[in-house]
Amino acid sequence: MERNSFGEQIRSGEITQIDFENGQGIIIDENGQDIHFQLEDVKDQIILNSKITFEIELNERGLIAVNVKLEREEVKV
């Protein structure tokens, strides 16, 4: 599993729900776990079923996804 510059795991998943009115959404990660995120933590434009990468933080409500970004495919030449 990939890690960021702080040694934290970078997880991958898929956007399963987006609530633009309330500014939040849900990701299902590679382990089948639902993880909530705030739209303000999204670095790219996303749509339902977007493949993304993210980091996990623990807050008073539980685990949340932060630094949500579209997953980039490696192009091999």
Domain boundaries, the chain: 11-59
Question: What is this structure's pTM?
Answer: 0.80
**Nearest-angstrom CA–CA distance, 37 and 31:** 17
Strand partners, 64: 36, 57
CATH for 11-59 is: 2.40.50.140
Regions of the chain with pLDDT less than 50: 1, 4-7
pLDDT digits (tens, 9 = 90+) for 20-31: 999 999 999 999
pLDDT score at 66: 95
Alpha-carbon dihedral sign for residues 40, 41, 47, 49: negative
pLDDT score at 8: 62
